[in-house]
Amino acid sequence: MTRLRLSVTMLSDWHVGSGTGRHGFLDRAVQRDPDGLPFVPAKTLAGVWRDGCETVVYALDGGRRGPWHSWLDWLFGTQPALEARGVIEGTHHGPPRPAALHLDSLHFPAVVTAALREKPLLRQSATFVKPGVAIDRETGSAADGMLRFEEMARGGAVLVGTAEIADSWRLTDDQVHCATALLHAAARLVEGIGGKRRRGAGRCRLDVGGLAADWRWLQGRDHPPQVPEPTPAPVVAPSAGRTVVGWEIADLRLVLRRPLIAHEQTMGNSVRSAEFVPGRTLLPAVLQRLNAPEAAAAARAGDLIVTDATIEIDGHPGRPAPLALVHPKGRPERAYNVMCETMAAGTQAVPYEGYYVGEYELGRLLRLAVCPRSEHTHNTIDDRFQRPVEAVGGPYTYQAIAAGTVLRAQVRVPSGLLGAGWQDLLAGTWRVGRASKDGYGLTDVSSAAAEPRTSSAPPDGRLRVWLLSDTLVTDERLRPSTDPIHLAAELGRALDVELRPVSDNGSGGAVDRASETRRSDPWHSRWSLPRASLLALRAGSCLSFDVVQGTVTAAAVQQVELAGVGLRRAEGFGQVRIADPILHSAFDGACDVTSVDASSVQPVSADSPAPEDVSELVRVWEEAAWRGEIQRASETAARERRHEILGNGYEKVPSSQLGALRTLVTGLDDPSSDSATEWLKRVETVRTARQAPWPDDVVQHLRSVLTEPHTVWQLLRLPEDSLVVEPGGAARLRRSLWAEAVRTLVEDCLTAHARSADAREGG
Residue 235 CB-density burial (10 A; 0-12 exposed, 13-18 middle, 19+ buried): exposed
- The answer to whether residue 609 is domain-embedded is no
Question: Residue 390: what pLDDT?
Answer: 77
**Which pLDDT tens digit goes with each residue over 284-295?**
999 999 988 889
Q: Flag whether pLDDT at 755 surpasses 60.
A: yes
Q: Are 738 and 672 in contact (CB under 8 A)?
A: no
Residues 268, 304, single domain; the answer is yes
**CATH code, domain with 469:** 3.30.70.1900
Residues 76, 212, single domain; the answer is yes
**What percentage of the chain reaches a pLDDT higher than 70?**
91
Domain C-terminal end among 399, 430, 450: 450
Instruction: In whole angstroms, give the CA distance from residue 415 to residue 419.
Output: 10
Question: Residue 671: what pLDDT?
Answer: 86
Binned at pLDDT 50, 70 and 90, residue 600 comes out as very low
In this structure, the strands spanning 576-578 and 529-530 are: unpaired
Q: Flag whether pLDDT at 627 surpasses 90.
A: yes
When pLDDT is averaged across residues 539-562 and rounded to a whole number, the result is 92
Instruction: Look at 606 and 35; give whichever has higher pLDDT.
Output: 35
Triad 180, 182, 188: Cα angle to 5°: 100
How many CB atoms sit inside 10 A of residue 350's CB? 12
**Which pLDDT tens digit goes with each residue over 151-208?**
999 999 999 999 998 766 788 899 999 999 999 999 999 999 998 888 899 999 999 9
- The answer to whether residue 188 is domain-embedded is yes
Question: Residue 601: what pLDDT?
Answer: 42
Q: Are 438 and 161 in contact (CB under 8 A)?
A: no
The count of C-alpha atoms lying within 13 angstroms of the C-alpha of 603, restricted to the half-sphere facing its C-beta, is 25
Instruction: In whole angstroms, give the CA distance from residue 380 to residue 414.
Output: 47
Q: Flag whether pLDDT at 234 surpasses 80.
A: no
- The answer to whether residue 323 is domain-embedded is no
> Nearest-CA neighbor of 368 among 597, 586, 595?
595
Domain C-terminal end among 586, 610, 634: 586
Residue partners of 712: CB distance under 8 A and separation at least 6: 705, 738, 741, 742, 745
Question: Residue 236: what pLDDT?
Answer: 63
> Nearest-CA neighbor of 51 among 174, 229, 199, 206?
206
Residues 137, 272, single domain; the answer is no
Residues 648, 535, single domain; the answer is no
Residues 444, 530, single domain; the answer is no
- The answer to whether residue 598 is domain-embedded is no
- Could you say which DSSP state residue 217 is in? G
Binned at pLDDT 50, 70 and 90, residue 365 comes out as confident
- pTM of the predicted model, to two decimals? 0.86
Q: Flag whether pLDDT at 336 surpasses 80.
A: yes
Residue partners of 382: CB distance under 8 A and separation at least 6: 87, 388, 389, 391, 392
Residues 438, 477, single domain; the answer is no
Instruction: In whole angstroms, give the CA distance from residue 187 to residue 197.
Output: 17
Kindly report the average pLDDT of the chain as a whole number. Answer: 87
Residues 282, 390, single domain; the answer is yes
Q: Return the C-alpha torsion angle 9, 14, 16, 20, nearest 10.
A: 150
**Which pLDDT tens digit goes with each residue over 696-717?**
898 899 999 999 999 999 999 9
- The answer to whether residue 224 is domain-embedded is no
**Which pLDDT tens digit goes with each residue over 81-92?**
777 777 677 666
Q: Flag whether pLDDT at 386 surpasses 80.
A: no
- Could you say which DSSP state residue 423 is in? G
The count of C-alpha atoms lying within 13 angstroms of the C-alpha of 396, restricted to the half-sphere facing its C-beta, is 19
Q: Flag whether pLDDT at 510 surpasses 80.
A: no
86: left (phi over 0), alpha (psi -120 to 50) or beta: left
Largest CA distance in the chain: 119
Which segment of 77-86, 359-368, 489-498, 567-576 scores lowest on mean pLDDT?
A: 77-86
Residues 46, 170, single domain; the answer is yes
- The answer to whether residue 604 is domain-embedded is no
DSSP string for residues in 541-587: -EEEEEEEES---HHHHHHHHHH-SSS-GGGTTT-EEES-GGGG---
Q: DSSP 3-state assignment of 95?
A: coil
Range of the domain at 30: 2-218
Q: DSSP 3-state assignment of 529?
A: strand
- Could you say which DSSP state residue 652 is in? G
Question: Residue 599: what pLDDT?
Answer: 42
Side chain identity at residue 435, one-letter code: A
Residues 259, 402, single domain; the answer is yes
Question: Residue 101: what pLDDT?
Answer: 94
Question: Residue 594: what pLDDT?
Answer: 55
> Nearest-CA neighbor of 736 among 622, 611, 632, 614?
622
Query: Which of 50-64, 450-464, 718-732 holds the top average pLDDT?
Result: 50-64
Instruction: In whole angstroms, give the CA distance from residue 296 to residue 431.
Output: 19
Question: Residue 632: what pLDDT?
Answer: 95
Q: Flag whether pLDDT at 95 surpasses 90.
A: no
**What percentage of the chain reaches a pLDDT higher than 90?**
53
262: left (phi over 0), alpha (psi -120 to 50) or beta: beta
When pLDDT is averaged across residues 402-407 and rounded to a whole number, the result is 93
φ, ψ of residue 147 to 5 degrees: the values are -70, 135
Looking at the structure of the chain, the number of domains it has is: 4
Q: Flag whether pLDDT at 239 surpasses 70.
A: no
What is the dihedral sign for C-alpha 612, 606, 372, 29?
A: positive
When pLDDT is averaged across residues 109-116 and rounded to a whole number, the result is 88
Instruction: Look at 677 and 617; give whichever has higher pLDDT.
Output: 677
Instruction: In whole angstroms, give the CA distance from residue 200 to residue 206.
Output: 17
Instruction: In whole angstroms, give the CA distance from residue 551 to residue 162.
Output: 58
Residues 578, 498, single domain; the answer is yes
Question: Residue 688: what pLDDT?
Answer: 59
When pLDDT is averaged across residues 726-751 and rounded to a whole number, the result is 92
Which segment of 331-340, 354-363, 504-513, 669-678 scores lowest on mean pLDDT?
A: 504-513
Binned at pLDDT 50, 70 and 90, residue 655 comes out as confident
When pLDDT is averaged across residues 583-604 and rounded to a whole number, the result is 59
How far, in Å, are 129, 156, 166, 342, 470 from residue 531 at the CA level?
45, 47, 27, 42, 17
- The answer to whether residue 591 is domain-embedded is no
φ, ψ of residue 516 to 5 degrees: the values are -140, 165
Triad 85, 89, 93: Cα angle to 5°: 100
**Distance from the first to the final alpha carbon of the chain:** 78
Question: Residue 57: what pLDDT?
Answer: 94
- The answer to whether residue 349 is domain-embedded is no
Question: Residue 488: what pLDDT?
Answer: 95
Instruction: In whole angstroms, give the CA distance from residue 5 to residue 70.
Output: 24
Looking at the DSSP assignment, which residues form a beta bridge with residue 17?
A: 30
Length of the chain: 763
Q: Flag whether pLDDT at 456 surpasses 90.
A: no
Question: Residue 233: what pLDDT?
Answer: 63
Q: DSSP 3-state assignment of 251?
A: strand
When pLDDT is averaged across residues 242-252 and rounded to a whole number, the result is 84
Binned at pLDDT 50, 70 and 90, residue 383 comes out as confident
Instruction: In whole angstroms, give the CA distance from residue 540 to residue 324.
Output: 8
**Which pLDDT tens digit goes with each residue over 1-26?**
688 999 999 999 999 998 888 888 89
Question: Residue 611: what pLDDT?
Answer: 45
Question: Residue 243: what pLDDT?
Answer: 65
How many CB atoms sit inside 10 A of residue 534's CB? 17
Residues 473, 516, single domain; the answer is yes
Return the CA Rg of the chain: 34
Side chain identity at residue 375, one-letter code: E
**Which run of H or of E encompasses 293?**
helix 293-301
Residues 567, 651, single domain; the answer is no
Q: Please name the residue ranges forming H helices in 709-762.
A: 711-716, 729-736, 738-762
Residue 584 CB-density burial (10 A; 0-12 exposed, 13-18 middle, 19+ buried): middle
Instruction: In whole angstroms, give the CA distance from residue 351 to residue 511.
Output: 14
Q: Flag whether pLDDT at 667 surpasses 90.
A: no
Side chain identity at residue 379, one-letter code: N
